[in-house]
Amino acid sequence: MRKKTRILVVDDELAIRVSLGEWLRRDGHHVEVAECGAAALELIKTQSFDVMIVDIKMPGMNGLEVLEEVRKIDPDLPNVMMTAYGSIESAVEAMKLGATDYVVKPFDPAEIGMLVKRILEHRRLRREHELLKHRESKFAEIGLLAGDSAALRKVFDLVDDVAATDSVVLITGESGTGKELVARAIHSKSARSQGPFVAVNFGALTETLIESELFGHEKGAFTGAGAPKPGLFELAASGTLFLDEIGDASPKLQIDLLRVIQERRFRRVGGVRDVEADFRVLSATNRDLEKAVAEGTFRMDLYYRLNVIQIHVPSLRERREDIPALARHFLEKFRVRLNKQVASISPEAMELLTNHDWPGNVRELENAIERAVVVGKERRVLPGDLPIALQRVSIEPIDETLDAHENAYIATKLKQYDWNISRTAQALGIDRGTLYAKIKKYDLSQGK
């Protein structure tokens, strides 16, 4: 499933181009050749490469000059300088100028293959490092998907089925149900598992920021773009791109995404060359996309592109039987982390936990248990250690609608945290984008 490594060989000698090109092709790479520096630069302007192998000594533009020009177009392109025996000085010079490595002609058969492998591995690690810098979504806890209910087993079965394919998957479910974990599980079981998993949250970033994050940009593409930067589309090469909260994508981004998914290629902002898009697309939403399509706020063509296979992650209400196991899992986690003596959950507290509707789903349950471990004084979690909203369930059975309950609960939390959005979102176990959406939905304001 992995894409072929694209290698550009630049040498003025036909025999070298043919021989090295053929050798690399037999190693399974895609090879383009150029007979001079100018031809190489033309290719680099219009195509993307993973490695360039260039002879230092060429008539006209020599290898060092080629390297200098290439760095203006694609500074991240790893390059290997070829030099003849006895002219090591120029190879050293090339290394000083930023060449990735050099080889002396003729090579041992294993040498060039190992060198290419090493360069690609180095590039992969560097991209992973870039990714860690990009990633705005924390690693979610695996506990979100703990449980053995029939509803959850169905999800796991589907994950196994789709992981074996390269199909596009839409993951639906309420906030806090573990949609990203499902996406990560699909990625880790797929043929792309050795590649990166790149997540982008459409609910958390502005349209302009997301565009730059996704597509990357060339130097000078806009004010402040002092250096070229690869986008998430590039960083996701050979891996999986996870489009979280896709329902929040703006109309312009929807068109951009559709184009990339259809054409499998894209350009950096301010760029002129196409880059191959080699990633699997997984997306997730807590919104009813079909309704959004009917209302005209989500493109139908994009919806059908993304919704090839759908996996619905059940809310905690739909798998109440998992609540005791989940609660014990989180209790153990926070007991160790907070170095507390609390060892169990009293039957009364467990009943409250099981009966609660959990609008914030597993994240909310996790927060409730953390709170109980922090405030609890006994060796067991008691009803009084749980958030007030849960205790209310037992004494005042709610006959209002789920929305009304959610509305009241969020309003209480906002007031409790003095409308500090970050802290309230954290307490509810939802992200800031979702909280803003809820505030808008229930028309909540500080004055009310």
Partner 1 sequence: MDPAYVEIVPLGPLDPALPAALAAQIPTVFGLPCTTGRPEALPAAAFDAGRGQYSARALIDHLARGRSTAIRRLGMTNVDLCSSIMRYVFGEAMLGGRCAIVSIHRLGAGGANPAGLDKTHLLARAVKEGIHELGHTFDLVHCDDPKCVMAASSDVAHVDAKSFVPCGYCRIALADGLARPAGIRRNGGR
Site for partner 1, rule CB under 8 A: 13, 15-16, 18-20, 22-23, 25-28, 30-32, 105-110, 112-113
Residue placing its CB nearer to partner 1 in the complex, 112 or 158: 112
Of 55 and 213, which has the nearer Cβ to partner 1?
55
Which of 173, 110, 112 shows the shortest CA–CA distance to 310?
173
- Residues pairing with 83 in the sheet: 104
CB of 62 to partner 1, least distance (A): 19
Of the two residues 116 and 158, which places its CB atom closer to partner 1 in the complex? Answer: 116
- Dihedral sign (CA 227, 228, 232, 234): negative
Q: Give me the amino acid identity at 11.
A: D
- Least Å distance between CB 11 and partner 1? 9
Q: Give the integer Cα–Cα distance in Å for 370 and 372.
A: 5
- Nearest distance in Å: CB 32, partner 1: 8
- Closer Cβ to partner 1, 110 or 395, answer by number: 110
- Is residue 37 within 8 Å of residue 129, measured between CB atoms? no
Nearer to partner 1, 23 or 436 (CB): 23
Least distance to partner 1, CB of residue 13, Å: 7
Give the pair of three-digit tokens for residue 87: 């002219």
As given in the structure block, the two tokens for residue 351 are: 């009943």
Using the Cα atoms of residue 387, residue 390, residue 395 and residue 398 in order, give the sign of their dihedral.
positive
CA–CA distance, 245 with 179 (Å, rounded to integer): 10
Measured from the CB atom, the residue of 105 and 189 that comes closer to partner 1 is 105
3-state secondary structure string, 305-374?
HHCCEEEECCCHHHHHHHHHHHHHHHHHHHHHHHCCCCCEECHHHHHHHHHCCCCCHHHHHHHHHHHHHH
Counting beta carbons within 10 angstroms of the beta carbon of residue 99, is it exposed (0 to 12), middle (13 to 18) or buried (19 or more)? buried
Min. distance of Cβ 18 from partner 1 in angstroms?
Answer: 8
Instruction: Tell me how far, at minimum, the Cβ of 2 lies from partner 1, in Å.
Output: 11
| Beta-strand pair 169-172/79-84 | unpaired
For 205, half-sphere exposure in the C-beta direction (CA atoms, 13 angstrom radius) is 20
Nearest CB to partner 1, comparing residues 53 and 428: 53
Shortest Å, Cβ 16 to partner 1: 5
